[in-house]
């Protein structure tokens, strides 16, 4: 395994799915089992309770329950960057505090996303309040830049102000813009900043530019293909490994993310309950299901992953 | 006062501001006092915990506290349409249930607003789950159409499906699109549906087209000017009254809504604490404050309102 510089999270992270019961509650046992499978099959760390984890569709109580279950289940939370975003300041504080108290490696924090075009001062105030109210030097905050969904970008001047005010507590950023140029600019502007790409499509580019790796929805499925890219990124094979990984990523991202990934895990585990989503997300149609299965099986590198997962 | 048909809420509603303490908690005493002032000065009903009330910036616990305080404070909750929106299904259910249990006249429900371009099936599932989990025939749900902020429109096919499934529980809609044509289309499509305009600029148009009135942020200040339009909408004076009201509305809406309205209430009450907002919303700058004050005082109809409020 790759050596990790002390104190900084690096590598391949899956934005972990949240399995649900028929009553739409987080399903804790399959959640922990899935986390273990990911850690044993290519993930250096995990990022539950983000966009893929349907965190904003879960109540505060449900999210706290999941964090506590992960800790009680013996998962290595020091390797976890856990979502704590909420439009409500008080809830973002409660979640972030719970993550620190549980030994979480980092908290992934969205900007408040209801009001549009907030001022930089307003966003600085929000993140500042979270840091100051949590008031714990163990806190490592990862800013969550996902403008397509949050509608509120994390800009370079905002990052600079936060880093100037709170130093190493502002540990990094997940760049889910899908725009490699944005990631490259961040890495040039803030050397050593913990920048993860939001897609494993940019894993190799990210590492070469001094970034930390990727935190990705599709890594719920692609982890065994992503790890060789991370482990071998300085080798000659890296580009070919990345190409093979990207092929799977591009196929998966042509489907609705949460539904497609839950569909694949449902097939692999034989547990149909995995298909359940919180509204407004909906499961794949039967036609989408079979198209997805056919297309995945048509990729040799994915066929190998699926067959190994089924055997496990 | 105007006669109201039994069981249907009508008239001038303010989307009530939420005063905050220095610790950013809901400030209950001035909240109740402001509600009383609004009801005594032109409002037929009130709509707290919406966009103006910064509801999405408040935690579930803070919102429940405000609803309980309103009930305990003796406010006529039967005339209230209270916001219960949340991206989290479980929280939307808890809030809606609390509103019904407190005797609230209606619950104003946003669509889940984090995921973009949700399917109609997904939105129907969300609203359905809320209705079915609350499972109370007293529930009157008002759909909250505010595409600029929620990014998720409430479409005519969605309304039709919900009305077909849940009848009079789907009681109405607040149209905050700012597009009168959308309101007119809804009123034509669904006669008798409880459609409120989200701006008092369209109060007279709304009433003439068969709508119920307006629920508006700026009515925190314009209530005494809006009530004569409602009370006299069938009279010859209506157009002139609406023109005078619209002039104030257009002035106010050229400022950031929550900040400007809290600024006016802070001035009227002499309570500077009213200027506090939850991030990312920020107070007006000193320059904006004086511009706003000057422009309001320059309108004779507003000067009269402000001077009467100060005397009260």
CA distance B150 to B128: 19
Are the beta carbons of A73 and A29 closer than 8 angstroms? no
Maximum CA pair distance of chain A? 53
- Give B199 or A310, the one with higher predicted confidence: B199
CA distance A134 to A169: 11
Helix (H, G, I), strand (E, B) or coil at B32: helix
B280/A112 touch (CB, cutoff 8 Å), yes or no:
yes
Which tens digits make up the pLDDT trace of A12-53? Answer: 999 999 999 999 999 999 999 999 999 999 999 999 999 999
Is pLDDT of B2 > 90? no
Residue of B60, B91, B148 with shortest CB distance to A116: B148
The per-residue pLDDT for A7 is: 66
CA distance A265 to A31: 11
Helix (H, G, I), strand (E, B) or coil at A11: strand
The per-residue pLDDT for B213 is: 98
Is pLDDT of B309 > 70? yes
A89/B278 touch (CB, cutoff 8 Å), yes or no:
yes
Which residue reads 């549906």 in tokens? Answer: B193
Region A271-298 average pLDDT: 97
Q: Pick from B187, B111, B184: which is nearest to B146 by CA?
A: B111
Nearest-neighbour CA in chain A from B14: distance (Å) = 19
B116/A87 touch (CB, cutoff 8 Å), yes or no:
no
B279/A114 touch (CB, cutoff 8 Å), yes or no:
no
Region B230-256 average pLDDT: 98
Q: Give me the DSSP letters along A71-103.
A: HHTT--GGGBEEE---SSHHHHHHHHHHHHHTT
Please give the radius of gyration of chain A, using alpha carbons only, rounded to the nearest integer.
Answer: 18
Region A162-172 average pLDDT: 98
Peptide bond into B102 cis (omega under 30): no
Peptide bond into A238 cis (omega under 30): no
> Which of A280, A284, A285 to probe by mutation at the B interface, max B CB count within 10 Å?
A280
Measured CA to CA in angstroms, residue B148 lies from A115, B175, B180 at distances of 9, 11, 15
Please report the residues numbered 89 through 128 in chain A whose beta carbons come closer than 8 angstroms to any beta carbon of chain B.
89-91, 94, 111-116, 118-119, 121-123, 125-126
> Which of A97, A115, A119, A128 to probe by mutation at the B interface, max B CB count within 10 Å?
A115
The per-residue pLDDT for B300 is: 96
Region A87-102 average pLDDT: 98
Which tens digits make up the pLDDT trace of B220-242? Answer: 999 999 999 999 999 999 999 99
Query: What's the mean per-residue pLDDT of chain B?
Result: 96
The per-residue pLDDT for B3 is: 42
Q: Pick from A251, A232, A257: which is nearest to A306 by CA?
A: A251
Give me the interface pTM, i.e. the ipTM.
0.96
Give me B193's structure tokens: 């549906």
Are the beta carbons of B311 and B288 closer than 8 angstroms? no
Residues 6+ apart with CB under 8 A from B226: B12, B42, B200, B203, B214, B216, B219, B245
Give the model's confidence band at B105: pLDDT under 50 very low, under 70 low, under 90 confident, else very high: very high
B114/A148 touch (CB, cutoff 8 Å), yes or no:
no
Is pLDDT of A4 > 70? no
> Which of A87, A95, A127, A152 to probe by mutation at the B interface, max B CB count within 10 Å?
A87
């Amino acid at each position: 395994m790759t050596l990790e510089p002390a104190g900084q999270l690096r590598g391949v992270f899956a934005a972990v799915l949240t399995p649900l019961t028929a009553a739409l509650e987080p399903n804790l046992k399959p959640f922990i089992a899935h986390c273990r499978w990911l850690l044993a099959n290519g993930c250096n760390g995990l990022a539950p309770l983000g966009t893929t984890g349907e965190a904003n569709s879960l109540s505060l109580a449900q999210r706290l329950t999941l964090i506590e279950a992960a800790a009680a289940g013996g998962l290595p939370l020091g390797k976890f960057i856990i979502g704590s975003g909420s439009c409500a300041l008080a809830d973002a504080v409660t979640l972030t505090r719970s993550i620190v108290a549980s030994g979480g490696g980092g908290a992934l924090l969205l900007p408040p996303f209801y009001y549009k075009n907030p001022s930089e001062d307003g966003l600085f105030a929000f993140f500042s309040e979270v840091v100051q109210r949590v008031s714990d030097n163990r806190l490592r905050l990862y800013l969550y830049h996902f403008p397509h969904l949050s509608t509120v970008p994390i800009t370079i001047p905002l990052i600079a102000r936060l880093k100037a005010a709170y130093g190493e507590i502002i540990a990094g950023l997940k760049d889910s813009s899908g725009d490699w140029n944005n990631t490259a600019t961040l890495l040039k502007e803030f050397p050593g900043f913990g920048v993860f790409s939001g897609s494993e499509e940019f894993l190799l580019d990210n590492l070469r530019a001094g970034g930390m790796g990727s935190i990705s929805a599709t890594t719920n499925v692609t982890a065994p293909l992503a790890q060789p890219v991370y482990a071998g990124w300085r080798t000659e094979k890296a580009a070919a490994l990345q190409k093979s990984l990207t092929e799977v990523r591009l196929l998966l991202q042509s489907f609705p993310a949460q539904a497609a990934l839950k569909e694949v895990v449902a097939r692999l585990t034989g547990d149909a309950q995995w298909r359940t989503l919180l509204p407004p997300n909906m499961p794949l149609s039967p036609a989408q299901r079979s198209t997805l299965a056919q297309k995945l099986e048509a990729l040799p590198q994915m066929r190998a992953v699926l067959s190994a997962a089924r055997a496990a």
